[in-house]
Amino acid sequence: MIASTLIDSLESAVAARAMLPAEGGLPGDCSKADLLHLYRRSADPAFASGLFDIAARLRDRHLGRNPWWSAGISAVTACELEELCTYCTFFSRKAASAENIVAAARAIAGLGIRHLHLSGGTRLPVDGEPADGYDRRMIELVTAIREAVDVEIEVNVGPSLTRSGVRALKDLGVSAVTSSLEVLDAELFARFKPSDSLSARIRLLEFCEEERMPIRSMMLVGLGETDENRIEHLLFLRRFSMLGHLRLSRYMPFPGAAAGGVRCSPWPLVRLTAVARLLCPTLDLGLAAGNDPDDLALWWLAGGGNQVLGASASMKDPRGKAGGEARAIPVGERTVVHDNMPRISRYLGELGLTAVFAPPRSTPRTC
Ligand code: SF4
């Protein structure tokens, strides 16, 4: 059993459902051992409920109680990795056309949503050559969307951007770049992402940090990583002052994926959400792949928030995957926008919450 002043005061705070001694969350020098202890301790539902209560109050204090809408357009770039990541079924070997992407952005803006992620597959910039990965492609796409609609744009094309690409996207007003490590353990990364590059993903985080570009990252929970790996991953990301958004994916063996395995339960993911909230109170903590709207209630109770995905564009399969209740809006021969706002609004409404359209102004990080 680990005994430290931090753990003692945290245990007392959780027992009393009091706020943490440090109003901004855990102190900056909290150790890996303390965090690991906290995470493991939260496996006990009685402890977790007190922890979630503190985490949710920190979220309310720093981010407020209004979820806000975002939307995603996928397959904006082809995945050119030789061997695909073994859990991935959402890759596309062919990018959607700029025309369809702009049409999807228009349809999403027509729903009132003011914030958009453009995501796609990877083309690794080649070291030592003037190869620019997807810099040019993303600059052209962002410019085309900017000319058509007034929305905030984020970009997620894996480790496919160079430093000058990040700089150019920042100049175009892109509000964040994603670099998802998924799993920080090098052996697991190599096993599940054989042609991908962990170091290129870390390098992109560093480019963003140095260019003062806001960062969004993702962590895949349930791939086989240990509790220690998860805590190390959180601590690693915490060093990036530009990190504004962390999304947690819940491992799901999608049909047809080579990785196999079993679906991660929601419990480790929401416990990690609560620990991340205590560590970084002002971080937007979101739900990514493998979660669905049924996970929203537990996520919110554990201190998750505040971005929610209200719509997504399916660029390669007009039938889409958005689920029965989503309203399908055709915008091209192979492009459909799925409006999931009615279902999510209903779920949020049952929690007494109302999602808003305006993305929040960026909050200074307190971790
Ligand atoms: S980089 Fe991996 S996860 Fe991303 S689209 Fe390509 S195969 Fe899928």
Which atom of ligand 1 lies nearest, measured to the CA of 193?
A: 2
**In order of start, what are the domains of the chain with their CATH numbers?**
66-350 (3.20.20.70)
Q: What is the pLDDT of residue 257?
A: 82
- DSSP annotation of 30 reads -
DSSP states of 271-310: HHHHHHHHH-TTSEEEE-TT--GGGHHHHHHTT-BSEEEE
Q: Is the CB of 220 under 6 A from ligand 1?
A: no
Confidence check: pLDDT of 1 > 50: no
Where residue 73 falls (left for φ over 0; alpha for ψ -120 to 50; beta otherwise) is: beta
Determine the average pLDDT of the residues in 307-329.
78
Looking at per-residue pLDDT, the higher value among 260 and 303 belongs to: 303
In angstroms, rounded to a whole number, what is the distance separating the alpha carbons of residues 318 and 251?
25
Confidence check: pLDDT of 248 > 90: yes
Which atom of ligand 1 lies nearest, measured to the CA of 196?
A: 1
In angstroms, rounded to a whole number, what is the distance separating the alpha carbons of residues 81 and 72?
22
- Cβ atoms within 10 Å, residue 294: 9
Query: Ligand 1 mean position to 84 CA, how many Å?
Result: 6
Q: What is the pLDDT of residue 57?
A: 93
Q: Is the CB of 91 under 6 A from ligand 1?
A: yes
Buried b (16+ CB within 10 A) or exposed e, 135-150: bebbbebbeebbeebe
Q: Going edge to edge, which strands form the sheet with 176-178?
A: 284-287, 243-250, 215-221, 176-178, 152-156, 115-119, 68-73, 307-314, 335-339, 327-332
Residue 252 CB partners (closer than 8 Å, separation 6+): 263, 264, 289, 290
Q: What is the pTM of this model?
A: 0.93
Confidence check: pLDDT of 324 > 70: no
Q: What is the pLDDT of residue 22?
A: 53
Give ∠ CA 56-287-61 in degrees, rounded to 5: 25
CA torsion sign, 122 to 123 to 125 to 131? negative
Q: Is the CB of 158 under 6 A from ligand 1?
A: yes
DSSP states of 141-202: HHHHHHHH---EEEEEBTB---HHHHHHHHHTT--EEE---B---HHHHHHH-TTS-HHHHH
Buried b (16+ CB within 10 A) or exposed e, 184-203: bbeebbeebbeebbbebbbb
Confidence check: pLDDT of 14 > 80: no
Residue with CA nearest ligand 1 atom 4? 121
Determine the average pLDDT of the residues in 34-48.
95
Residue with CA nearest ligand 1 atom 2? 85
Query: Ligand 1 mean position to 225 CA, how many Å?
Result: 19
Specify the length of the chain in residues: 367
Our mutation pick for probing the ligand 1 site, out of 76, 77, 79, counting the most ligand atoms within 8 A of Cβ, is 79
